[in-house]
């Protein structure tokens, strides 16, 4: 703000401020001083101020600055506080000559955005500023870095991406597992042959002898032996599908690995496993027999439908100008709300119906340096800045460029979360658990989705064919399964569920290091829904994930047939409600996307239209 050395320099419409009375707008200038107009109740406030008072105790706010904007449109300033809190802090510093004491800045910010949730907002802003190169932050003061101006907070931010001088090849982005000498067509062929052999066995009224020597794959196909003891056909289905995975891996899996966990772990060792095939296996490995295919014939039919969808996905030409509609919802979780906890999830829906960035981040609860909600919000803000700087050039990007961007953006987000944790620990993490967050992010180009994930959040494609999972768990058990596939002896216990893929990850030397990414590319077919969700859905909507699949199929059939923005929002809401109807034991966040039933142009109410 500027001092008012000469009243004649004031103009009608200028915003002025007094430390006791607050903000007012100059209505007109006269010989005695200035007439003021107040946007609030003027009782007790002067409507006319003398020239002497103006020059001694009042200050003029910069025209167009954040304080003048607050006086004219306070709601827009509050929206900025939510959308880009660091920009609000930067613009406030611009108004205050580039620097200020932490306590003074806190008072100013509280004046601008109000009391509601201010303490948490202010703490997060200081952390964000501490890892932002545009600021200089210490315990007592915050200042703008040299050369930083108002434009740095009002114009798109140039994200850190590879340049010709700094090439980053796609192969340098860490993937989830080494390639194996098997491909998707071979997996489909083996699965169909096994299902047909099992159906023939069941048609004779026989039961599968459940040992490895009785279920083998040779040059002429699968050889199955019958058991003299009868057993439910669903048990045969589970055993046969486990043998399918063992043959694909080229290793016998230890009995300690539960059947129902295989779908979440096998892709780490066999990333060529088709998502549609994984969807069938999810039901085959269900703990509840009622969810499994009834017999070999039912397994044959399920595989036929899933494979037909997979072939259609591969054979149809891409639709680069296809329009997507999106919906979203989030909830703290009914049980967590009763416990007075917070929602640690964050999400993004950015872009337009032809080209978008969507993201769900689930903050990890256990932390003494930072918090899960701070980690997920840092991740969301970092991806937003990356997108803002490069979304137009990404519109023309192919798969390699899309994954390069996602890898670079997630690497940047990992560094931001790590640096913030170090700062909050006073520079020493030796006695702290640093904060972290899972994340699943996707770039859409027409009907094509390029996805990258860390952790245990979920991405599913749901259609009339069922559910096809696009992501899998990144935990110690996934590493153990890969070790078992290599012939090593492994243990299996609750420690195996500890995540090894997340943002906020450090290497053995204590430096920020992005873990291996799960990556997928998938094309959405008409009538299908892409659903991104935090594990509050997959872990709490039902007792097992196969039952969650059944819930998703039912909800899509009931609420996802309109293929418009209203249906997308309704479906997201229903899935979150299902998580709360289950146990409500965790934060639940859901994004839903589908191909629009309308022609080109955004649908009314679509978040991607904003």
Strands of the sheet containing 141-144, edge to edge, are: 99-101, 141-144, 135-137
In 464-566, beta strands by DSSP E: 466-469, 518-523, 529-533
What does the alpha-carbon distance between residue 58 and residue 17 come to, in Å, rounded to a whole number? 6
Contacts of 390 (CB under 8 A, 6+ apart): 159, 161, 405
What does the alpha-carbon distance between residue 349 and residue 591 come to, in Å, rounded to a whole number? 8
Predicted confidence (pLDDT) at residue 284 exceeds the cutoff of 50: yes
Lowest mean pLDDT among 75-89, 115-129, 305-319, 462-476: 115-129
**Segments making up each domain of the chain, as ranges:** 2-61, 67-155, 184-312
pLDDT digits over 395-411, tens only?
888 999 999 999 999 99
Pick the CATH number of 184-312 from 3.40.50.1370, 1.10.3720.10, 3.10.129.10, 1.10.510.10: 1.10.510.10
What 3-state DSSP class applies to 180? coil
Q: What is the mean pLDDT of residues 563-571?
A: 94
pLDDT digits over 507-527, tens only?
888 899 999 899 999 999 999
Q: Give burial (CB, 10 Å; 0-12/13-18/19+) of 170.
A: middle
pLDDT digits over 84-101, tens only?
788 889 999 988 888 889
pLDDT digits over 331-367, tens only?
999 988 887 778 999 999 999 999 999 999 999 988 8
In 203-323, beta strands by DSSP E: 207-208, 215-218, 221-224, 226-227
Q: Quick check: 542 and 548 in contact, CB under 8 A?
A: yes
Predicted confidence (pLDDT) at residue 581 exceeds the cutoff of 50: yes
Q: Residue-wise over 68-89: b if at least 16 C-beta within 10 A, else e?
A: bbbbeebeebbebbeebbbbbb
The pLDDT value given to residue 256: 86
Give percent above pLDDT 70 in the chain.
Answer: 91
pTM: 0.76
């Amino acid at each position: 703000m500027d001092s008012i050395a000469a009243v004649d320099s004031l103009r009608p419409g200028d915003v002025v401020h007094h430390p006791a009375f607050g903000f007012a707008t100059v209505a007109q200038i006269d010989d005695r001083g200035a007439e003021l107009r107040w946007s609030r109740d003027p009782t007790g406030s002067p409507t006319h101020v003398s020239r002497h008072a103006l020059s001694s105790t009042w200050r003029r706010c910069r025209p167009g600055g954040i304080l003048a904007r607050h006086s004219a449109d306070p709601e827009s300033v509050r929206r900025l506080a939510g959308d880009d809190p660091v920009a609000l802090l930067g613009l406030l510093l611009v108004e205050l000559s580039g620097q200020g004491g932490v306590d003074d800045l806190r008072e100013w910010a509280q004046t601008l955005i109000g009391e509601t949730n201010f303490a948490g907002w202010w703490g997060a802003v200081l952390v964000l500023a501490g890892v932002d190169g545009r600021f200089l932050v210490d315990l007592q003061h915050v200042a703008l870095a040299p050369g930083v101006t108002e434009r740095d907070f009002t114009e798109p931010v140039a994200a850190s991406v590879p340049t010709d001088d700094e090439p980053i090849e796609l192969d340098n982005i860490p993937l989830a597992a080494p390639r194996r000498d098997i491909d998707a067509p071979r997996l489909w062929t083996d699965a169909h042959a096994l299902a047909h052999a099992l159906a023939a066995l069941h048609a004779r009224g026989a039961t599968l002898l459940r040992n490895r020597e009785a279920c083998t794959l040779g040059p002429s196909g699968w050889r199955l032996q019958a058991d003299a003891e009868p057993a439910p056909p669903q048990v045969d289905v589970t055993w046969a599908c486990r043998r399918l995975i063992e043959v694909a891996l080229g290793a016998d899996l230890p009995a300690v690995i539960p059947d129902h966990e295989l779908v979440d772990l096998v892709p780490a060792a066999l990333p060529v496993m088709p998502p549609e095939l994984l969807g069938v296996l999810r039901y085959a490995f269900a703990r509840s027999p009622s969810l499994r295919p009834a017999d070999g014939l039912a397994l044959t039919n399920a595989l036929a439908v899933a494979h037909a969808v997979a072939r259609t996905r591969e054979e149809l030409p891409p639709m680069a100008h296809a329009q997507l509609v999106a919906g979203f919802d989030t909830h703290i979780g009914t049980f967590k709300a009763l416990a007075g906890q917070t929602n640690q999830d964050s999400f993004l829906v950015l872009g337009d119906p032809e080209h978008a960035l969507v993201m769900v981040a689930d903050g990890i609860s256990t932390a003494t340096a930072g918090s899960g909600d701070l980690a997920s919000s840092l991740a969301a803000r970092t991806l937003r800045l990356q997108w803002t700087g490069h979304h137009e050039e990404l519109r023309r990007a192919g798969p390699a460029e899309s994954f390069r961007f996602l890898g670079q953006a997630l690497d940047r987000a990992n560094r931001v979360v790590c640096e913030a944790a170090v700062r909050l620990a006073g520079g020493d993490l030796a006695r702290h658990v640093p904060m972290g967050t899972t994340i699943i992010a996707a770039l859409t180009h027409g009907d094509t989705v390029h996805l990258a994930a860390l952790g245990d959040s979920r991405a599913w494609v749901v259609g009339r064919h069922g559910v096809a999972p696009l992501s899998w768990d990144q935990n110690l058990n996934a590493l153990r399964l890969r070790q078992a596939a290599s012939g090593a002896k492994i243990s299996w216990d609750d420690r195996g569920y500890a995540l090894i893929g997340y943002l906020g990850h450090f290497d053995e030397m204590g430096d920020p290091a992005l873990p291996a990414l799960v990556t997928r590319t998938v094309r959405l077919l008409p009538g299908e829904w892409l659903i991104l969700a935090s594990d509050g859905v997959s872990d709490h909507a039902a007792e097992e994930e196969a039952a969650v699949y059944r819930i998703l199929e039912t909800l899509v059939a009931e609420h996802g047939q309109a293929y418009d923005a209203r249906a997308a929002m309704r479906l997201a809401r229903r899935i979150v409600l299902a998580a709360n109807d289950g146990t409500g034991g965790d934060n639940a966040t859901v994004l839903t996307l589908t191909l629009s039933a309308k022609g080109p142009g955004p649908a009314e109410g679509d978040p991607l239209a904003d």
